[in-house]
Amino acid sequence: MSKFFKRIGKRIVAGLVMILAVSSFTFFLVHFMPGNPVQTKLNTLIEEGIPPLQAQAQVRSMYGFIPHQPLYIQYFHYVWQVLHLNLGKSISYSGVPVMHLLLKAMPWTVIMVLTGLAVSFIIGITAGVIASVKRNSKLGDGLLLLSTFLHGIPQFIMALGLAYVFTTIFKIFPFGAPYNAAISPGFTIPFIGSLARHAVLPIAAYAISGFGAWALTMRASVTSVLGDDYILAAELRGVTPSIRLRYIARNAMLPLFTILTLSVGFMFGGSIFIETIFDYPGLGYTINTALAARDYPLMDGAFLMITAAVIIATIVADLLYTVLDPRIQRI
Amino acid sequence: MGADLKVIGNADQDAQVECQIRDLTVTFTTDSGEFPALNHVNLDIIKSKITAIVGESGSGKSTLGLAILNGVAFPGKVTEGSVDFAEHGNVLKLRGKALRHFRGPVVGTVFQASQNAMNPLARVGKQILDLGRSHHYKDPRKLLHEAENLARRMAMDPSRVLTAYPHQLSGGMRQRMGIIMALVLKPKVLLLDEPTTALDLLTQSAVLEIIRSIHRERHLTTILITHDMGVVAEISDYIVVMYAGRVVEQGSTHETLRDPRHPYTRAILRAIPRLTGDLNRARPLEGSPPDLTQIPATGCVFRSRCSYRVPQCDLVAPILESVDTGHFVACHQEGLIRD
């Protein structure tokens, strides 16, 4: 048992080092991006005819502070603050702590993307199994074609298409905003109903554009497992179809678990296109705002969170694997 | 050809047929045409005896094994013939549940790739229980008990091997496990497809010894598919030599190995190196193994590699004829082949 904790401890330490490395990298990358928000605002004001000194004062009051120190000092400051779980203050939402903004955006994304992920995974896996088992029939060909087609459509086109069809042509679902502003938020049936109605299209967009990838991966995986000796052996030993299907499904799902766990990690990046198109105030939307406004602290914070989530997901995937696949040495 | 049985019966008064194969033809359809993997095969598998089916790769011996289980799968197809089992009729007509309960409880199979014939994600004991559940075993404990006894027979620790995952067992243990999974349902026919390939010599002889003793003890009808003449000589009662989807020679093992009549049988026997004497006396078989796409439509299938070839071989396919009591050969030149 002590060995178990030692291994887990090792992975956590390695994970922390990795988070630090990746977040340092993104910190510098973000800061080397062309375009300085303060300078841009200053130039706009001057172009509007405001005297330079007055413009500078206005900008200073607008952003709260002007990052004037050398980059490496900003970096050490950033790391020191991160170690204290302080991600700094946003520039575009002047003065609001980044942590506060991220925590506020997180539930929207987690509910939307997690539901979308679950729906696309379940439908995709089922379609993949059918497409593989019936691969010599019209049904299999049709599923393969549909999966490839849907996989090829970018998320934002899917989102725009769904929005156009279901909010403009057929006015079935509302467009924009996460809930009806006329209903006061609270734990009431009309409010929850409104939330659900507004969430249908974003979730559908996510699920439909993700479904193809799961179906194609699962189809390939099942096809390879179907050719394995133990499946034929089970058939020739007279094992029932349902037990055989269980053998096939468990073996074919193995490689997909890694992808699923990583997807859950990447989920914390939200879906920028879908959230922006549907005006959904999740993490993707927040990142998009931060990018547009050159809101460095918010960007750094959001990227740090994605990094941490993906690295944690990787560790979880590793641990999960030792449970799912007996061939991998238990730690 | 239906007379085979009677002649063999003359040699052995008590011989009874367990499985009767008639005119069995299996065709593989590929992009470049249709190829017969088995061509009008006639065969009687004698009850409570070990029948060895030998041949190179491409001879159709594994396809024959699959056909006995009615397991020929796409792109192969049984186009003609029948496989009749004493109490079950023509197996090729069985479908669904009837077929499922034939595979396993009637014919137990040990697979060519027995190393990989178990689900890697489930414990061995669990897979034996899955077998029991598939065949409506009322008492799973009895089944496990049977598996434990067999494991002990095969010099394995039952509590260890039944709780292990397949990857935790050695190659030889997995092979023995494959035999246990074939025997645990108490079949009356045991079909072994290359049971000792990929095993080292010591494990090989141990596995053969187990097969032989269980065969005797349970009065099993055993079908042994192999390319290893040493294995054939050691344990089989009857031998069936196949080439390019046809039976070219068959008879009792003793008689056939003592006096092989088909040029192919002679050639493969000559290719075996002797333990004593000059190693150079072993002569490899010339030419390449039969390629299903290249089999001539007329004449003898072996003629391109045969040193006894005469013009007749190009025109007429030789039929299997009796040359001695219970000994059959398909060769025009059979009469000339004498040492």
- B338 CB within 8 Å of a chain A CB: no
ipTM of the complex: 0.85
Residue B285, CB-side half-sphere exposure with 13 Å CA sphere: 19
Percent of chain A past pLDDT 90, that is, above it, reads 18
CB atoms within 10 A of CB B209: 13
Tell me how far apart the alpha carbons of residues B249 and B234 are, in angstroms, rounded to a whole number: 19
- The reported pLDDT for the residue numbered B166 is 92
Distances (CA, A) of A175 to A158, A197, B190: 14, 10, 68
pLDDT over 90 (residue A124): yes
Q: Which CATH number applies to B4-106+227-332: 3.40.50.970, 3.40.50.300, 3.40.190.10, 3.40.50.720?
A: 3.40.50.300
Residue of A nearest to B165 (CA): A326
The contacts of residue B73 (CB under 8 Å, 6+ apart) are: B66
Reported as a single tens digit per residue, the pLDDT across A5-24 is 787 888 889 988 988 888 78
Q: Which residues of A touch B74 (CB under 8 A)?
A: 136
Q: Quick one: pLDDT at residue A209?
A: 86
CB–CB of B104 and A237 under 8 A?
yes
Rounded-to-integer distance, Cα A243 and Cα A329, Å = 26
Residues A269 and A106: their CA atoms lie apart, in Å, by 9
pLDDT of residue B1: 37
Of A40, A93, A22, A23, nearest to A63 by C-alpha is: A93
b/e code B37-51 from CB counts within 10 Å (16+ = b): bbbbbbbbbbbbbbb
Paired tokens of A38: 């303060």
| A243/B102 Cβ within 8 A | no
Helix, strand, or coil (residue B243): strand
Cα–Cα distance list, A185 to A188, A190, A281, B266 (Å): 8, 9, 15, 91
pLDDT tens for A274-316 read: 888 888 888 888 888 888 887 877 888 888 888 888 888 888 8
Please tell me the distance from the alpha carbon of residue B51 to that of residue A331, in angstroms, as a whole number.
49
Sheet of B17-30, strands arranged across:
B33-46, B17-30, B76-85, B89-90
pLDDT in tens, A171-215: 777 777 777 767 777 777 777 888 788 888 888 888 888 889 999
What 3-state class would DSSP assign to A113? helix
| CB A101, CB A93: distance < 8 Å | yes
Could you report the average pLDDT of every consecutive run of 10 residues in chain B (339 residues)?
40 77 90 85 91 88 92 88 89 90 92 82 94 89 92 90 92 88 93 84 85 92 91 91 91 90 87 72 75 78 84 86 86 71
- The span from the CA of A158 to the CA of A271, in Å, is 13
Q: Beta strand B107-110 with B189-193: parallel, antiparallel or unpaired?
A: parallel
Close Cβ partners of A169 (under 8 Å, ≥ 6 residues apart):
none
CA distance to partner chain B, nearest, from residue A255 (Å) = 13
Highest mean pLDDT among A24-28, A205-209, A230-234: A230-234
Token pair of B262 as six digits:
């088909």
What integer pLDDT is reported at residue A234 of this predicted model?
93
Q: Is the dihedral of CA B161, B163, B169, B174 positive or negative?
A: positive
* Amino acid code (one letter) for A298: L
Q: A136 and B74: CB-CB below 8 Å?
A: yes
The pLDDT assigned to A67 comes to 54
Decide if B101 touches A, using CB distance below 8 A: yes
* For range A220-245, the mean pLDDT: 92
Q: How far apart are the C-alpha atoms of B163 and B244, rounded to whole Å? A: 43
Distance from CA of B193 to the nearest CA of A (A): 12
The pLDDT assigned to B2 comes to 37
What per-residue confidence (pLDDT) applies to B337? 63
Q: What angle is formed at CA B224 by the lines to CA B223 and CA B227, rounded to 5 degrees?
A: 150
| Gap from B70 CA to chain A (nearest CA, Å) | 9
pLDDT tens digit sequence for A62-87: 554 445 667 787 788 778 877 887 77
* Contact: B111, A243; criterion CB under 8 Å: no
The answer to whether B77 faces chain A, any CB pair under 8 Å, is no
Of the candidates A230, A238, A325, which has its C-beta nearest B117's C-beta?
A230
